Chain A
């Protein structure tokens, strides 16, 4: 895949695996180390010999030899080294023979090319041609890491070279699957007290899906969330396992209690209580601590129940056509965290669809749900499981279907009996009537019941976390800081600073409306503004004059004719400074097209 940053780990584990199971001779090469065939050979030799030393670091002599050998590295020396090694392994270490008995005489040498795309074609071709000539003496296996598609082999290597290779393709897991496992293991468990709020998760997923597909970056973002949360939120001390948290609640200081009282979710809680309790909560620390412990317990139970119900709902919604609530469980998770999920239109339509499911699907789904609930640790699910099993059992009974069949058969029989037109019409009408008013079959009733039951589960347990008291302790929810630090836009920052300095410098004199800029603004802003009005090339003299006109307009009232020369020089100097700053920032560059002109490197309004 294109997520090059994650590949290192894969290659590392791959080479370890090969080293342990098949052959001790594994080397991995990176394009940046090998600009020429000489460097490549050197690196390769070094790695192979080091590999060898790594595996049996018994003889010191060999080590010294190796470092000497590094100076002159050629294919012949590699081969002779290899022959030596194989001889040695044959005679000296029978243990290895046993492990790699299949390649008794010659364990293959594996070379991993980590990033095939960035290698120079010539180096690669040369290496392949050279090594293919020595394949009899030196059994080589090359592994290429390809970020794009296998087509690249054929476009990088000419036919004569690629025919020397015997290619077999392997596919690695797509990065999306990695992401879903990570979300599964990291977010949708109760093992970790730290949680992400909907917006933060959305930002992380967006960066993943729209920018880099890199799981490592996702993890980095997650790490940043943890750091930020524990750094900025004073109550994050309570963000740990329940027992530990209860202990810590007891040892809270008075100011920390005040912090709790200040939490918006706690205020909401207080307002919903009776007046006496309110007073107690707001004044007595001890009473508050007790209440907080209870609330934390609630929160914990909520988490325990949340995950299995979410998975259950996912089982239902993921099989519906068009996926109204999303295909992946992460989308469902986001939707549930965002607002009350049962109020959304998507949820409504998915329930409608669920009411039309056929029997076999429903049964398999229910079975899955039972599995989920059984494996979950929540205490309240015994009843739920019982109920679900009950449903299942009822489905297993074939009555519902039989009844239906009987009915239809009998009616058909009636149809066959009566032959004259009048009777036929009558019975048909009756049949219609009966169908319309016919009671739902048992199956259908059951189906409704199941769906309603699921619905009630959702309503009970999937309340968004924002509505819970004390959710601030566990949930990190400042998405803006995350976006700022991970996915910054330096160009926009520069643009606003130059265009509208008021954003940063809170001075009334700088406040301006629309596109115009106050003439008291910093020099660089004025120069920038003037340069925006120009085309591709800018005449320095005109620019300077425009600048001095703007600036002297400010100083005009108290400017004297006598000192004007002095002032002129200063303005000139200021102009030079501002222009060279713009050059440093990359907005303009000196141009040779015309004397004393500079070229603009940006276009339009930014």
Chain B
């Protein structure tokens, strides 16, 4: 019975560890902050420069690893043609590897490279590039589903079409949504679309259910490369890196998600208004009074004060900018480019 007990101990160990880690809400860490460290914060540029100087150990071994993976290229091609799709996993960036694959095997044929780590990528932009550049179709679609249907129809009719799709980081923030994965899976299930993708996140396989897995028809390949994630992390907003540049779509959605429904409604209203006037170059923004009126009509605020408080919060997150015109009226603007805003509204619509 002793051995049995030992076994039980071992069995319950991971579970125990989980509860141990989450049992006390109090966390014992020191209170030191980076502010006190007397260190200037680095921005992306200096970070990159510094990293260039950093030593790069084990270059020979890493090269050996990569050569091993590269010897599989012709096998991958064969398997892609047989109707399987390839997914690569393992530690280290697989960007170089896929790029090499592209250069050595796909030079001759039509191929599409998707950088999933790019923070404002959406499925729609992938589908657009398929319809516009591969199928040379100039038209708009009401929804991604219609677009997908069109693509599927064209591929079924025309047997000469072939397309290789290379997706770096299939599990990135923007592509991991259920709907995007569904669409990508259906795309990849077409017999003459060959998909080769890489994943990095430890929980990436959670995003696929049975149906999607069977559509994807994956063959898994472990390609541990140990090469640093240079491209992929350049967009990852680390705490230690100074933020610069305009707001990305992903950060926009993230901030908005943590707000109340009413606050989201207010932002939406403003965004819609701005998009309606996007062709008018002299549009100064929505005046505060008008904005208040609109919000009141939509039952989003009940007083002048609440709206002001809300706007202050938006301003703190750099979601809006206010400026005073010549006549002394305050105008509110969203300092984000229109395409990002459109994408954002679409995504909101999907979520609702």
Q: How far is the CA of A507 from the CA of B65 in the complex (A)?
A: 12
Interface residues of A in 460-510 (CB under 8 A from B): 484-488, 490-491, 493-494, 497-498, 501, 504-507, 510
Who on chain B is nearest to A220 by CB? B217
Determine whether A402 belongs to the interface, using a CB cutoff of 8 Å to chain B.
no
Determine whether A176 belongs to the interface, using a CB cutoff of 8 Å to chain B.
no
Residue contact A520 to B13, C-beta cutoff 8 Å: no
Which residues of chain A are near B224, meaning CB under 8 Å?
493, 497, 504
Which residues of chain A are near B35, meaning CB under 8 Å?
596
Size of B's binding interface in residues, CB under 8 A: 69
Who on chain A is nearest to B48 by CB? A573
Which residues of chain A are near B300, meaning CB under 8 Å?
none
Most B Cβ at <10 Å: residue of A487, A494, A504: A504
Q: How far is the CA of A512 from the CA of B273 in the complex (A)?
A: 62
Who on chain A is nearest to B58 by CB? A505
How far apart are B153's CB and chain A's nearest CB, in angstroms? 12
Q: How far is the CA of A491 from the CA of B199 in the complex (A)?
A: 11
Q: Which of A487, A505, A576 contacts B240 (CB 8 A)?
A: A576
Given A487-B220, A491-B202, A603-B17; 5 other pairs, CB 8 A cutoff: A5-B210, A32-B182, A224-B84, A490-B222, A577-B51
Which residues of chain B are near A602, meaning CB under 8 Å?
202
Determine whether B39 belongs to the interface, using a CB cutoff of 8 Å to chain A.
yes
User: Which 8 pairs across A and B sit closest by C-beta, in order of nearness?
Assistant: A488-B220, A604-B17, A5-B214, A573-B50, A497-B91, A490-B89, A505-B61, A580-B233
Which residues of chain B are near A488, meaning CB under 8 Å?
89, 220, 222
Determine whether B141 belongs to the interface, using a CB cutoff of 8 Å to chain A.
no
Who on chain A is nearest to B201 by CB? A586
Q: How far is the CA of A542 from the CA of B75 in the complex (A)?
A: 47
How far apart are A423's CB and chain B's nearest CB, in angstroms? 61
Residue contact A505 to B62, C-beta cutoff 8 Å: yes
Interface 9-mer from B24-32, B159-167, B260-268, B321-329:
B24-32
Which residues of chain A are near B53, meaning CB under 8 Å?
570
Q: Which of B30, B78, B221 contacts A539 (CB 8 A)?
A: B30
Determine whether B119 belongs to the interface, using a CB cutoff of 8 Å to chain A.
no
Interface residues of A in 212-256 (CB under 8 A from B): 212, 214, 216-217, 220, 223-224, 227, 231
Determine whether B298 belongs to the interface, using a CB cutoff of 8 Å to chain A.
no
Determine whether A536 belongs to the interface, using a CB cutoff of 8 Å to chain B.
yes
Q: How far is the CA of A504 from the CA of B69 in the complex (A)?
A: 12
Which residues of chain A are near B210, meaning CB under 8 Å?
2-5, 212, 214
Residue contact A597 to B201, C-beta cutoff 8 Å: no
Most B Cβ at <10 Å: residue of A33, A583, A598: A583
- Counting contact residues on chain A (CB < 8 A from B), the size range is 35 or more
Which residues of chain B are near A605, meaning CB under 8 Å?
17
Residue contact A574 to B33, C-beta cutoff 8 Å: no
Which residues of A are at the interface with B, using a C-beta cutoff of 8 A?
Answer: 2-5, 32-33, 212, 214, 216-217, 220, 223-224, 227, 231, 484-488, 490-491, 493-494, 497-498, 501, 504-507, 510, 520, 522, 524, 534-542, 569-570, 572-577, 579-581, 583-587, 590, 593-598, 600, 602-605
Question: Can you report 8 residue pairs joining A to B where beta carbons are below 8 Å apart?
Answer: A494-B91, A504-B224, A522-B57, A535-B21, A572-B50, A573-B42, A579-B240, A600-B21
A231-B34 in contact given A32-B182, A484-B222, A603-B21 (Cβ < 8 Å): no
Residue contact A539 to B239, C-beta cutoff 8 Å: no
Residue contact A598 to B239, C-beta cutoff 8 Å: yes
A594-B29 in contact given A214-B214, A488-B220, A572-B39 (Cβ < 8 Å): yes
Determine whether B145 belongs to the interface, using a CB cutoff of 8 Å to chain A.
yes
Q: How far is the CA of A491 from the CA of B74 in the complex (A)?
A: 27
Who on chain B is nearest to A602 by CB? B202
A586-B211 in contact given A485-B220, A486-B220, A579-B240 (Cβ < 8 Å): no
Which residues of chain B are near A536, meaning CB under 8 Å?
21-22, 27
Q: How far is the CA of A487 from the CA of B35 in the complex (A)?
A: 47
Q: How far is the CA of A602 from the CA of B14 in the complex (A)?
A: 11
Interface residues of B in 60-85 (CB under 8 A from A): 61-62, 64-65, 75, 78-79, 82, 84
Q: How far is the CA of A212 from the CA of B36 in the complex (A)?
A: 54
Q: How far is the CA of A214 from the CA of B232 in the complex (A)?
A: 36
A505-B226 in contact given A224-B84, A584-B236 (Cβ < 8 Å): yes
Determine whether B228 belongs to the interface, using a CB cutoff of 8 Å to chain A.
yes
Which residues of chain B are near A587, meaning CB under 8 Å?
202
Residue contact A574 to B79, C-beta cutoff 8 Å: no
Residue contact A216 to B214, C-beta cutoff 8 Å: yes
Which residues of chain B are near A5, meaning CB under 8 Å?
210-211, 213-214
Q: Which of B62, B84, B91, B182 contacts A524 (CB 8 A)?
A: B91
Q: How far is the CA of A541 from the CA of B36 in the complex (A)?
A: 9
Residue contact A585 to B54, C-beta cutoff 8 Å: no
A522-B226 in contact given A586-B201, A600-B21 (Cβ < 8 Å): yes
Q: How far is the CA of A598 from the CA of B240 in the complex (A)?
A: 11
Who on chain B is nearest to A3 by CB? B210
Who on chain A is nearest to B226 by CB? A522
Residue contact B51 to A573, C-beta cutoff 8 Å: yes
Residue contact A490 to B32, C-beta cutoff 8 Å: no
Most B Cβ at <10 Å: residue of A2, A505, A534: A505
Residue contact B219 to A577, C-beta cutoff 8 Å: no
Residue contact A569 to B50, C-beta cutoff 8 Å: yes
Residue contact B228 to A577, C-beta cutoff 8 Å: yes
Determine whether B135 belongs to the interface, using a CB cutoff of 8 Å to chain A.
no
Q: Which of A490, A541, A569 contacts B34 (CB 8 A)?
A: A541
Q: How far is the CA of A584 from the CA of B18 in the complex (A)?
A: 22
Residue contact A227 to B79, C-beta cutoff 8 Å: yes
Q: How far is the CA of A538 from the CA of B29 in the complex (A)?
A: 7
Residue contact A535 to B58, C-beta cutoff 8 Å: no
How far apart are B104's CB and chain A's nearest CB, in angstroms? 19
Which residues of chain A are near B200, meaning CB under 8 Å?
584-586
Residue contact A507 to B79, C-beta cutoff 8 Å: no
Q: How far is the CA of A494 from the CA of B202 in the complex (A)?
A: 8
Most A Cβ at <10 Å: residue of B32, B91, B203, B229: B91
Q: How far is the CA of A212 from the CA of B213 in the complex (A)?
A: 11
